[in-house]
Each structure stands twice: as C-alpha cells, then as structure tokens.
Structure 1
Amino acid sequence: MKFTKMHGIGNDYVYVNCFEETVENPSAVARYVSDRHFGIGSDGLILIKPSKIADCEMDMYNLDGSQGAMCGNGIRCVAKYAYDYGIVNKEHISVATKSGIKYLDLTVENGKVSQVKVNMGSPILTARQIPVVSEKEEVINEPLDVNGKIYYITAVSMGNPHAIVYMDDIDHLDIEKIGPAFENHVAFPDRVNTEFVEVIDEHTVKMRVWERGSGETLACGTGACAVAVASVLNGHVDGDSPVTVKLLGGDLQIFWNRQENLVYMTGPAATVFDGEIDVSFLK
C-alpha cells in the first residue's frame, strides 16, 4: 500500500490515495499504521476516495480503528494532497465527509499548497443532536460531575461532539487521567472529544485536547472550532473578529461568522514523506 504521511500542526495521519489504491480492512490498517513503534506512527488513517458529490471524499479512522466523522486538521491535508498530487487542479475545492460536504480555499506557493481555509459549517448547540444527555436544550457552562469533581462544560458539535472546559492552568493538567473519564462519561452516548482551555486575552485562547479514540493529540481542528464558538458564547473572546487558538502543535485562526452561522478555520498543512508498506497480512 502506497501512502503519504502528512500533518496539520502536528495532528498527523497516514493518507492513502484510493483513486489508485484499495484498502480492504481500513480499521485494522488504521491500528497497524498508527502504531508509533511497529507501524508508521500517526493519529489515524485517512482514505482519499472518489466522490460523486464532491471533488473527493475523506474517509477517516482513528488510531484505535474506530471510524471518525470529521477532522479539521486532516481535511486541510486532504486538500493539500488533492492539489499537490494532481487529483484537482483548482484552488477552491469540495470534500465529502461523514459530516457533510466541506468547502476549502487553498493558498498555493511555488506550486504547492501551504495554507488552507475551511468552511467547517454551522456549529450544533442542541444537546440531543451533539449528543449530550442534559435536561437543558443547550449545554453552556453547565456543571458535570466527573470522578466526583464538578466541571463546567460547554457542549458543541462540529460534526463530532466536543465538551469544552475552562481552566486557569492547563499546562499541569493530568490529561491522561481526566481525558478518558470525560470521553467515556455516561453523559456522552457517542463518547466525546474534550478541550481543556485557558483564556489568554479577548483574541487568544490556549487548549489541550483529549480526542475520543486517539487520546491526547497535538492538535484538533474541529476542537479548535468548537472552542472558538464556546468562547464567544461564554463571553471570553471578542465575537466579531477571528480567534487565535494555540494548540500544542501550533496555531489556528478560527472565525465564527454569526450572521452566516458558519465557522471558518485557517491553518497550514504539510507533507512529511511518501512510502509503501505491506498490509496484506491484515485480515
């Protein structure tokens, strides 16, 4: 199987061009290639497939083999791959995902894509659609008991569920302990991605993320979008201008256009290397 290792601010995936390749057991392949000791090393596997409704389709799998709906950093790399490797020859493209069709604007420098702006769609705030179990229609700064401690969460879906928690100090957070407790909490029927956020100023926030099925990652694009939306809803940032979201792997610019009710994410995408790996033994 030929592949390309790519990353968006450290959120790395193994990408396979399914215009040319066939992946028989993507869940098993995802688990194998994601292993950082015995495989290639990644946060998961993303298949770039032909689509009848868009320029291409993104089919993603987490490192535990579970199928994901959407990845903001991953889709920027899909766009870069599609342009750099000749699947598309235009700077405005569409990508089909499990969360609907996303539209992307490419910044091309010296014949290669360097930055991608993604229309991430409208945030979902209705509790049952996220889904999160709550008596409230929307969960904005609501208490949640996790392992006997009360946290205040804001729940947002960007095609996948997010719980945002504000803290004074995220650098010393024991995320390996608290992350799984949020992910598997009974309040989240489909599990949840959890963002632990520190507000820097009215234009800047810093976050760490525990992704369902992957653990802590260096970056999460949908998570950054959810954080920007939650930060506006909670009055932590200026809602009329882009928010800089600082992640472990780098920065993303997020703007929630409330007139359109659309969230726009801008950030880099990078190719690490191309390779070939034998996955024929995986059944």
Structure 2
Amino acid sequence: MLAFTKMQSLGNDFILVDGIRLPFELDKGQIRYIADRHLGIGCDQVLVAELTDSNADFAMRVFNADGTEAEQCGNGARCFARFLHEEGLSDKRRLSVALRRHAINLEVEDDWQVVVEMGEPIFDPSEIPFESDHQTAAYELEVSNEVYEVHVVSMGNPHAVVLVNDIDSVDVDSLGAAIGRHARFPQGANVGFVSLNTRNKLRLRVWERGVGETLACGSGACAAVVSCHRVGEVDDQVLVELPGGVLDVRWPGQGSVFLKGSAITVFRGEINLALV
C-alpha cells in the first residue's frame, strides 16, 4: 500500500508521496492509475519528495497525469512545502527544493500562504526549447491555417502565452493542444491564454502538457505576467485570476519571479498499486 496526501491550490490538485523515508519508483502506468479520477484517486500531477545530492534541502519530482515527468510546478511547490511540514520532514520556513533542471526557494508564511522564488525566466529559444533562428518578444505561429502571435518563455518548463480579447470563448483544450504540441516546441509546451484587465490584474486559462486545461497553473501565471510585462502591458506586481482563484505574481523586469498563493491539504489515504 502506498500512503499519500491529496492537496490542492486553487483547484490545481496533487497527490504527494514520501519517497524519503521509503524510496521507491513509480512507473507510468501507476502514475496514470493514481491520477485517474474514476479508477484511482484523481489529480493533475503526482509529486514525489526525495533526498538530493545537491545543495538543496529536498528534491521534488513532478509527474503529469499521463505519466510523463515535468520540470516544474509552481502550485505544486507550494503544496510541497506544506507537505514537508505536516509529514515532519522539515520545520524550516525557508526551503530550497531541487527540480529536474534547477532549484527553487520556498518561504512558508502564516495561514499556509507560500511564496515561491521561481527563478529567472528564460527567453533564449534554444534553451526553452523553441525552434527559431532569432529571439524576440513574440513569434508568429501557424496553427490549423491560422497565424497566432505567441510569447514564448521558460519558467523551468516551456510556456507559450497568447493574448486574447475574449478569454471565455477560447477553446482551450483544442487550441491549447494544437499550440502546445506544435513541431516548433520539441518538448511540447504549456499554453496560457491571457485577457488583460488592468495594469495589475489579468485573467488566465492554461492548457498543461500531459493534463489538459487545469483550474490553475503557477508557472503559467508567472509566464503570463512575464510575457505581458515584456511588452509593457502590466506593472511589477499582478494579480492573476484563474478559474480556480487568484495568484499573486511579482517580477520587476529582471531577476527572479515570485509566486504567492495558498496550499491546502484535502485528505490522506493509502492506495493499492498491486491492482495496476
């Protein structure tokens, strides 16, 4: 039996498991089973806490609902901080956590508000990765005989950001999948659709690789604010309204992006993976 904790932030939900006290490996079939909302527990991502050889306090592995491993998860990182505290694995208010490509810093505030220092955004197409022979603020991308202006950035994972006038009318699952699986994104991308409200507030819907549209996406909120800031549309601190709630994102135009929001424990349990 595998012990787990179900957590969520703005409806972006996770299954967290302790791979520190008892190290283990999950295969793709087991992850898909855990994430299945009908046959398993149900979640957007599975997060595994592990020890690390780096200078970080812990490592966090992120698995999408389809079993693929992701590089980053901003909302999941906040839940991860609370999980470490509630499991007695740490009592530190400031934590460093190693991901696949880099490390992030977490700060636990009162009432389980958690601030994530997400690191610096990456715009170099070769590092995102995105196929382009030059770097610019926005790129033209042809999808189903339509040309879209797409802002491309990595927040530790690749993101495409599209500004739209009517966010409610966007077919996020269809268009998001078409952009996110475009050949110019060799590793795929998360796709955010943004509607600007004011200079310190925007609306966002996100299609996530390996999941589909989610109620919230922390790294997607950061990518949206960074992309809009680069073209002068928003200020340094922005409230990002997603279907599941509001995130607070800060970026002054250089350096690290800071993401603040809630982390909520839903329930704990055990699952029998021998059934897979």
TM-score when scaled to structure 2?
Answer: 0.96
Using the alignment, how far apart are the partners of 1:155 and 1:145 within structure 2? 14
2:117 aligned residue (106, 116, 119): 119
**Count of residue pairs brought into register by the alignment:** 274
**Aligned-residue offset at 1:136:** 1.9
Using the alignment, how far apart are the partners of 2:258 and 2:274 within structure 1? 40
In the alignment, is the contact (CA less than 8 A) between 2:60 and 2:97 conserved in 1?
Answer: yes
Residue aligning to 1:42: 43
Residue aligning to 2:190: 193
**Aligned-residue offset at 1:257:** 3.2
- Compute the RMSD of aligned alpha carbons: 1.3
Using the alignment, how far apart are the partners of 1:21 and 1:197 within structure 2? 42
Using the alignment, how far apart are the partners of 2:164 and 2:37 within structure 1? 31
Residue aligning to 2:129: 131
Encode CA deviations 1:17-38: one digit per residue, 9 max, x unaligned.
1123343334222100111111
In the alignment, is the contact (CA less than 8 A) between 1:166 and 1:196 conserved in 2?
Answer: yes
Using the alignment, how far apart are the partners of 2:19 and 2:273 within structure 1? 15
1:258 paired with 2:253, answer: yes
**Aligned-residue offset at 1:281:** 4.2
Residue aligning to 2:224: 227
In the alignment, is the contact (CA less than 8 A) between 1:50 and 1:57 conserved in 2?
Answer: yes
Using the alignment, how far apart are the partners of 2:27 and 2:231 within structure 1? 39
In the alignment, is the contact (CA less than 8 A) between 2:192 and 2:207 conserved in 1?
Answer: yes
2:267 aligned residue (269, 273, 279): 273
Using the alignment, how far apart are the partners of 1:31 and 1:117 within structure 2? 29
1:82 aligned residue (81, 84, 109): 84
TM-score when scaled to structure 1?
Answer: 0.93
Instruction: Rate the CA distance shift 1:257–1:84 in 2: closer, same or farther, 3 A.
Output: farther
**Aligned-residue offset at 1:61:** 0.5
2:240 aligned residue (236, 245, 257): 245
**Aligned-residue offset at 1:194:** 0.4
Using the alignment, how far apart are the partners of 1:41 and 1:281 within structure 2? 16
Residue aligning to 1:176: 173
In the alignment, is the contact (CA less than 8 A) between 1:71 and 1:222 conserved in 2?
Answer: yes
1:203 paired with 2:179, answer: no
2:160 aligned residue (163, 167, 171): 163
In the alignment, is the contact (CA less than 8 A) between 1:4 and 1:14 conserved in 2?
Answer: yes
1:147 paired with 2:148, answer: no
Structure 1 SS opposite 2:183: coil
Runs of 4 or more, structure 1, over 6 Å off, are none
**Aligned-residue offset at 1:172:** 1.6
Q: What amino acid is the match of 2:261?
A: G
Q: What amino acid is the match of 2:224?
A: V
In the alignment, is the contact (CA less than 8 A) between 1:204 and 1:246 conserved in 2?
Answer: yes
Structure 2 SS opposite 1:171: helix
In the alignment, is the contact (CA less than 8 A) between 1:94 and 1:103 conserved in 2?
Answer: yes
**Aligned-residue offset at 1:82:** 0.7
In the alignment, is the contact (CA less than 8 A) between 2:45 and 2:65 conserved in 1?
Answer: yes
Using the alignment, how far apart are the partners of 1:28 and 1:54 within structure 2? 29
Using the alignment, how far apart are the partners of 2:252 and 2:149 within structure 1? 25
Residue aligning to 1:9: 10
Task: Give unpaired runs (5+ residues) of structure 1.
Answer: none
Q: What amino acid is the match of 1:209?
A: V
